[in-house]
């Protein structure tokens, strides 16, 4: 944490090269919109009230992300360049003093530790500005770092404005700079639109500050992957891959076994406890929290759900917005959605779908069932092929099954309906009336055998 630092994230551009109807910074990598990724990184180094995001294109949507993260937005009505974006923040930012870290909102891989080093490098050098740079094999599109023979930084030249000789330079501007705030605000109005794009380039501040007699230094870092700027969907996929690799690595270091980690997709905010095993091709997304000693089977998808300790999800299951208490078991090929809740030791098996349904402790539905809008007690056995008819074409209705009930295979429960404690439903019954406790309900035609019957020829 750097107490005297403020951060401004530039996120007002459209991102034309994404070829998208959606603003670039709303595209997701690692399970989060790019702008959110930038804010979360900033929150690790600067106080919340000193973090700002410049919004413009699709301002309302981007602002919603900014506000959800609890930081402040600055509005840039017209996108006249990165320098202009910073100028738009003058009113809110100029009074803050200290240092101002500016970073482009399309650079999601930057680590908080690198921003911390940047601020320290700027302070140690007493520089007007320090810029993070790196060497890349292909510098197309990036601003180039131009140095003199002694290696001092002279200026940053944008790709579009660079001479053929300057285009040969492979040291690039990351778009992440730390300024002495006082000096930045003193000189920012010296920026001009004298370039092929007719924009106010923030990068021109380097030459401006040098002319004003202050120092400008570069912090060159060896790993270019951290500085990948997202301009198109190829780069977006690359950033996503790197963020996910970081996440699984972090989890493995913390004691989670991840089989074939390169195939697994885990969102940034997911939490997983020790000794849980995640199978190949699993996707664990949203706000999911998984306890200790669980098993997430191959190719299962778990979204924004809570799994307590010892839960087992067998392969090819899909669980969203649901809650599984300790030692519950699900799958293979099961689907739980819309606030399904399994109590301890409940077991949901093959090809069973649960929607907005509670299943009590130790209850089972092992094969081929649809249980929607239902409340199922403990120690219930739901036979194969059971269907709760929860929808009459207009409204949804509830099915309530009390503790210890046995529902025979292929039963149809027409909601609203209640089945009393300890009762037994004969296989293939159609149940549309209350079943009292401890009763046997038979809701089907009697079998008729016509002896001596012969086929007509
Ligand atoms: C910028 C840098 C370039 C650097 C590269 C690193 C400038 C002039 N160029 O180029 O030196 O190598 O990043 O990735 O700074 N934005 C606004 N308002 C605007 C224009 C842009 O908020 O008026 C935001 C965009 O939303 C984006 C960020 O600034 O998040 C960078 O803009 P972009 O157009 O992608 O800049 P680059 O051409 O990549
Ligand atoms: Ca960019």
The pLDDT tens digits of the residues spanning 157-216 come to: 999 999 999 999 999 999 999 999 999 999 999 999 999 899 999 999 999 999 999 999
> Is a pLDDT exceeding 90 seen at residue 456?
no
pLDDT at site 187: 98
Is 315 in contact with 300 (CB distance < 8 Å)? yes
DSSP characters over 144-189: EEEE-TT--EEEEE-GGG--HHHHT--EEEEEEEEEEHHHHHHHGG
Q: Is 389 helix (H, G, I), strand (E, B) or coil?
A: strand
Q: How far apart are CA 244 and CA 73, in angstroms?
A: 28
- Kindly list the catalytic residues: 367
pLDDT at site 345: 98
pLDDT at site 381: 98
Is 132 in contact with 145 (CB distance < 8 Å)? no
Q: How far apart are CA 5 and CA 214, in angstroms?
A: 19
Query: Is omega for the bond preceding 332 within 30 degrees of 0, making it cis?
Result: yes
Atom of ligand 1 nearest to the CA of 158: 11
Which regions of 329-438 does DSSP assign to beta strands (E)? 329-330, 335-337, 341-342, 347-355, 358-359, 364-372, 374-376, 381-382, 387-389, 399-401, 406-407, 412-414, 417-419, 424-425, 430-431
> Is a pLDDT exceeding 90 seen at residue 18?
yes
Ligand 1 neighbour 82 (Cβ under 6 A): yes
Q: How far apart are CA 196 and CA 198, in angstroms?
A: 6
DSSP characters over 213-256: T--EEEEE-S-GGGG----SHHHHHHHHHHHHHHHHHHHHHTT-
35: tokens are: 């702008």
Q: How far apart are CA 162 and CA 197, in angstroms?
A: 12
Average pLDDT over residues 75-100: 96
Average pLDDT over residues 385-401: 97
Atom of ligand 1 nearest to the CA of 54: 22
Atom 2 (ligand 1) nearest CA: 175
Q: Read off the pLDDT of residues 421-446 as tens digits, 9 standing for 90 and up.
A: 999 999 999 999 999 999 999 999 99
User: Relative to the alpha carbon of 142, which ligand is closest?
Assistant: 1
176: tokens are: 């992440």
Q: How far apart are CA 346 and CA 328, in angstroms?
A: 5
Ligand 1 neighbour 203 (Cβ under 6 A): yes
pLDDT at site 455: 87
> Is a pLDDT exceeding 90 seen at residue 150?
yes
Backbone angles phi, psi at 348, to 5 degrees: -115, 120
Ligand 1 neighbour 310 (Cβ under 6 A): no
Q: What percent of the chain has pLDDT over 70?
A: 100
Ligand 1 centre to CA of 211 (Å) is: 23
Mutate to test the pocket of ligand 1, among 8, 11, 13, 132 (most ligand atoms within 8 A of CB): 13
pLDDT at site 223: 86
Q: Quick one: pLDDT band at residue 1, thresholds 50, 70, 90?
A: confident
Average pLDDT over residues 360-386: 98
Ligand 1 neighbour 105 (Cβ under 6 A): yes
pLDDT averaged over the chain? 97
Ligand 1 centre to CA of 182 (Å) is: 23
Q: How far apart are CA 350 and CA 367, in angstroms?
A: 5
Ligand 1 neighbour 18 (Cβ under 6 A): no
Q: Which residues pair with 277 in a beta bridge?
A: 257, 295
Is 426 in contact with 445 (CB distance < 8 Å)? no
Q: How far apart are CA 425 and CA 417, in angstroms?
A: 13
Q: How far apart are CA 40 and CA 411, in angstroms?
A: 51
Is 289 in contact with 269 (CB distance < 8 Å)? no
Ligand 1 neighbour 84 (Cβ under 6 A): yes
Over its C-alpha atoms, the chain yields an Rg (Å, rounded) of 30
Ligand 1 centre to CA of 196 (Å) is: 15
Ligand 2 centre to CA of 125 (Å) is: 27
Ligand 1 neighbour 12 (Cβ under 6 A): yes
Atom of ligand 1 nearest to the CA of 107: 14
User: Relative to the alpha carbon of 104, which ligand is closest?
Assistant: 1
Q: How far apart are CA 271 and CA 249, in angstroms?
A: 13
Atom of ligand 1 nearest to the CA of 24: 26
Average pLDDT over residues 371-386: 98
Is 133 in contact with 171 (CB distance < 8 Å)? yes
Ligand 1 neighbour 172 (Cβ under 6 A): yes
> Is a pLDDT exceeding 90 seen at residue 251?
yes
> Is a pLDDT exceeding 90 seen at residue 3?
no
Candidates 349, 293, 291, 355; CA nearest to 321 is: 355
Which distant-in-sequence residues (6+ apart) come within 8 Å of 320 by Cβ? 301, 302, 303, 304, 305, 336, 337, 338
Atom of ligand 1 nearest to the CA of 156: 11
Query: Is omega for the bond preceding 173 within 30 degrees of 0, making it cis?
Result: no
User: Relative to the alpha carbon of 79, which ligand is closest?
Assistant: 1
Is 312 in contact with 329 (CB distance < 8 Å)? yes
This prediction's pTM: 0.90
The shares of helix, strand and coil residues in the chain, as percent rounded to the nearest 5, are: 25, 30, 45
């Amino acid at each position: 944490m750097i107490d005297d630092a403020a951060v401004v994230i530039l996120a007002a551009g459209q991102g034309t090269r994404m070829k998208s109807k959606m603003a670039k910074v709303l595209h997701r990598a690692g399970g989060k919109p790019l702008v959110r990724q930038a804010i979360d990184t900033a929150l690790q180094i600067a106080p919340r009230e000193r973090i700002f995001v410049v919004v413009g294109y699709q301002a309302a949507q981007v602002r919603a992300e900014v506000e959800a993260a609890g930081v402040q937005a600055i509005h840039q009505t017209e996108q006249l360049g990165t320098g202009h974006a910073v100028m738009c923040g003058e009113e809110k930012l100029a009074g803050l003093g200290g240092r101002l870290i500016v970073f482009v909102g399309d650079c999601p891989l930057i680590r908080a530790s690198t921003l911390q080093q940047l601020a320290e490098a700027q302070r140690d050098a007493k520089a007007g500005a320090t810029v993070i740079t790196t060497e890349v094999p292909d510098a197309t599109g990036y601003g180039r770092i131009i140095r003199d023979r002694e290696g001092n930084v002279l200026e940053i030249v944008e790709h579009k404005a660079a001479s053929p000789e300057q285009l040969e330079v492979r040291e690039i501007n990351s778009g992440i700079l730390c300024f002495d705030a006082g000096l930045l605000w003193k000189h920012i109005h010296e920026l001009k639109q004298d370039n092929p794009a007719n924009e106010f380039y923030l990068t021109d501040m380097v030459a401006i500050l040098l002319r004003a007699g202050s120092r400008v230094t570069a912090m060159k870092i060896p790993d270019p992957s951290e500085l990948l700027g997202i301009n198109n969907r190829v780069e977006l996929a690359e950033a996503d891959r790197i963020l996910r690799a970081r996440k699984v690595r972090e989890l493995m270091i913390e004691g989670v076994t991840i089989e074939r980690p390169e195939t697994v997709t885990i969102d940034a905010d997911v939490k997983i406890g020790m000794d849980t095993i995640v199978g190949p091709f699993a996707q664990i997304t949203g706000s999911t929290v998984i306890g200790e000693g669980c098993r997430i089977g191959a190719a299962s998808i778990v979204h924004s759900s809570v799994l307590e300790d010892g839960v087992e999800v067998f392969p090819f299951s899909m669980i969203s917005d649901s809650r599984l208490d300790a030692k519950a078991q699900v799958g293979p090929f099961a689907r739980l959605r819309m606030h399904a809740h399994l109590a301890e030791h409940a077991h949901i098996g093959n090809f069973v779908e649960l929607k907005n349904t509670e299943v009590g402790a130790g209850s089972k539905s092992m094969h081929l069932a649809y249980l929607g809008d239902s409340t199922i007690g403990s120690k219930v056995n739901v036979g194969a092929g059971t269907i709760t008819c929860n929808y009459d074409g207009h409204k949804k209705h509830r099915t309530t099954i009390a503790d210890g009930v046995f529902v025979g295979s292929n039963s149809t429960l027409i909601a609203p309906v209640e089945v009393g404690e300890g009762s037994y439903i004969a296989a293939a019954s159609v149940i549309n009336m209350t079943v009292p406790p401890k009763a046997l309900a038979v809701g089907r035609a009697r079998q008729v055998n016509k002896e001596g019957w012969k086929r007509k020829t």
